[in-house]
Structure 1
């Protein structure tokens, strides 16, 4: 490839709306251009990297036994109504009508469509297991699209859907997909971690997210450095930090705490550790034709509520935070001095598992400017319902008992789910088993954000000059930068010969024959992030040398002219082998 026959659209400045590194660099490197909020054109440089990601994904999916197909982006509403997600999915589902006033959606995912294929095409247990996949454009109407391709509305995704006859079969398929994902992200050259996750709107019984580790990641990940445990903070188990409840040693005492509405303020005022205070959070669930049910959730003062875990508690699937008027009506005081003692109306109390083992703790007195100290379960309060409803924090014991937890940030680029019969039952996707009886198909689904991988890779690999691509997904593996290509026959002949040698060896090479000044050439290719650069100049050729510099190298090195091509080929092969 010669640069004069390619399109290079680099920019010196990033657009004002670019908030994170990957967005800025993808625009400046000429990879993407905005069309509308969260919707982008992928220019030739960007598309080359996308196609390389897709190729690796396809190779590993095929290797794992999945079969490629292609489903439509536009999906009829009836399928979503059958599954129950027409309403449940929410406003991210873009709904529209055709000219006949029939309802359709622009697909954010394809569980419904693929289940429809399966129920019409799979009749017998002999046809399973089967795993269909596609690489296709999706649309999710994000309320606030941002961060370029990291949270866009339109994006390219690889989604796969497996059908097994039983749970054991699903587990085996799931293992194969999990292993395939490990191979994919390893081949992409990314530092990643697989973590246990919440299933969210997809549903199902178990899942893992694959995160690229980056400081700018939106997701918090809890992991144990001394074991294999890792989980999204949304799903990480928070073990009790108090192993056994101690006997009461203090009297129940109502204590003035003027103007101290936060646990931190109360702890400082009373000169006690923050860990002895209790944080009260009031939720409500609505009852048709009656007043709402109010719930009082109790956390240790230094902990935070995990809303994902909370929504899984019996009766709290559709919770909302109580209004101030409701809080005053049930507790007799506005927020800041709330507690489980002497409420005006009955509330349902749930104590986090750490709180349930505490003694002599401090709660609000349900009276402005007062807290109650020396509070104990059993003696002063009835035993509460107990649940894990908090986020883990650094230093918590690892749930596998093999160390303590650390936290890091990650960018989700893949997710695998054990769906079970969530969709097959709702949509009557059955097969005939060995006895001739109909059984629901057992499903799994497996997604990879292809375009998001580009942003995640950049967030993990950049410097002040631009992108630093892993070899496997760089738009070009090698750039040849001839000094005076249009003026020197020797430079042009050697550059063309190097280009042809590398092409013949299967190397993705571009020769910059644009006639730009060296500084402009170097700046463009460092911004674009090509991993390897060879500089061909008359002076070097007279000495039998060509200048080589890897994108991560701080200095260039000189190579013998005859060995330059093979040296770069060996470096690329070595990098791809890791």
Structure 2
């Protein structure tokens, strides 16, 4: 569904706040509340207001693009799952109090899913029986619930959150690694498209299980963990690389290049190895935020759930599986942690709620109104997402709000500029302003 590319701020629901809410501990939480993106309903649970929801949808679309690119196909599984599935895998009693357990009116044990390995394994096992049915990759984007003992930091550590979960199904461990590599490279691309430098780091598999796992970490001062890496990792640019996901050798080469550099979280850090492998001028220690986690766990779920495939030789073997998570709602906060300044958010274009803010400095002035209406219509026609600030407010309020919500570009229309045939175009990221004709500004933004 195409999102509306244009809104008038006088008609838009964007309840911005002048003061910083006392409960907000970190930058992203403060700015999301102040910019009118979210509203807290209870501990760790939020409503997403129009501005925040647009960002969620933009992030979802980037994730979908990169999953679709590698042949991973979208499904949608329910939030409420049967406890019987989890008992088959042995995780129902092991998962802990983070799982929200429910009993329905017929006294059946249910749960609000914190993850979907059991359900997707059951779905696949019912319909895939032969080596001819693999490899396959499926994903969905769905709300999850984990009853965190201490939800905090806004959407960064909430109880209800939006996740992309992907799952791979293969005949052999070697084939499973190929699927894992496809996902690994897709993750590098999707974060780069969002304007982030996400560093893959070998990770503990935790309750998901398996023996191969990577976390994707972005650097931010308010990160939850300390990380160590070779700073050359920050210079790698794989977004525009001509990588064919159908070529296992290419995938392996890319991953080999990335993982050849030292990178570790505090749980995995080896100081002696770090000192030995990383030149002194390349050593980087910083705070990091996890924005994705991928696992290859082989037959951990397929064996207890009897998900088997028949080989060419007629042998029945358990399917090899992996799972691949991206925290979609968490990313909204993580991007702000990495992309902000003293005045507010600085959105990367790919995930910005709108590309440009059109500011009318003299609402009611016939010439200014006409110039803004003309630009508003032309930006819409060019497919540029635009927010038109047509409120009868002081210029200072309009500038402050635009900087706070962080749209990548601002077009300022005032009486002097209209008389001279120019508008002011400002880059939110650099702060650079230039005077251009309306046509030139339109061409710049539509290009």
Looking at structure 2, the residues matched to 492 and 210 of structure 1 have their Cα atoms a distance apart, in angstroms, of 47
Alignment of 1:358-377 (within 5 A): none
Name the structure 1 match of 2:141.
135
Displacement of 1:567 in angstroms is 2.4
* Unpaired stretches in structure 2, ≥5 consecutive residues: 1-6, 233-259
Number of aligned residues: 414
Q: For the residues of structure 2 that align with 1:401 and 1:564, how far apart are their CA atoms?
A: 46
| CA drift at 1:58 | 0.5
Aligned match of 2:357 in 469, 472, 479?
479
CA distance in 1: counterparts of 2:279 and 2:350, whole angstroms: 38
1:75 CA drift (Å):
0.8
Equivalent residue, structure 1, for 2:439: 562
Per-residue deviation, 1:404: 7.8
Aligned twin of 1:146: 152
**Pair 1:233 & 2:241 matched:** no
- CA–CA distance in structure 2, aligned partners of residues 506 and 479 of structure 1: 14
Determine the structure 2 residue equivalent to 1:429. Answer: 307
Higher helix share: 2
- Deviation per CA, 1:210-253, whole angstroms, max 9, x where unpaired? 1111011112222133662212221234558xxxxxxxxxxxxx
TM-score (norm 2): 0.89
After TM superposition, give the deviation of residue 498 of structure 1 in Å: 1.0
1:100 aligns with 2:102: no
Matches within 5 A, 1:138-287: 138-225=144-231, 228-237=261-270, 239=272
The answer as to whether partners of 1:541 and 1:561 remain within 8 angstroms in 2 is no
Deviations 1:402-421 (A, max 9, x none): 99854221110111111111
Contact 2:83 2:109 (C-alpha < 8 Å) held by counterparts: yes
**Where does the alignment leave 5 or more consecutive residues of structure 1 unmatched?**
241-394, 571-578
Q: TM-score, normalised by structure 1?
A: 0.69
Match of 2:393 in 1: 516
Matched position secondary structure for 1:172: helix
2:252 matched to which residue of 1?
none
Distance in 2, Cα, partners of 1:553 & 1:62: 33
Is the Cα–Cα contact under 8 Å of residues 409 and 427 in structure 2 kept in the other structure?
Answer: yes
Q: Matched residue of 1:104: which SS?
A: strand
Change (3 A) 1:104 1:514: same
> Does the CA contact (< 8 Å) of 2:384 and 2:445 recur in 1?
no
Indicate the residue corresponding to 1:419 in structure 2.
Answer: 297
CA distance in 2, matches of 1:82, 1:127: 23
Residues 413-456 of structure 1: per-residue CA shift (max 9 Å, x gap):
11111111111112111111111221000001000000111111
Find the residue that maps to 2:326 and give its secondary structure: strand
Cα separation, 1, equivalents of 2:275 and 2:281? 9
Aligned to 2:29: 23
Distance of 2:110 and 2:281 partners within structure 1: 50
- Which residue in 2 is equivalent to 1:4? 10
Larger Rg: 1
Q: Which residue of 2 aligns with 1:410?
A: 288
Query: Distance between the aligned counterparts of 2:418 and 2:282, measured in 1?
Result: 58
Any idea what the Cα deviations from partners look like across 1:509-542, whole Å, max 9, x if unmatched? 1111122211111111111111110111121111
* Aligned with residue 535 of structure 1, among 389, 406, 412: 412
Q: Counterparts of 1:533 and 1:44 in 2: how far apart (Å)?
A: 20
Secondary structure of 1:91's partner? coil
Q: CA deviation at 1:489?
A: 1.8
Q: Note closer, same or farther for the CA distance 1:401–1:25 as it changes in structure 2 (3 Å cut).
A: closer
- Give secondary structure in 2 for the equivalent of 1:428: coil
Q: Give 1:145 shift.
A: 0.1
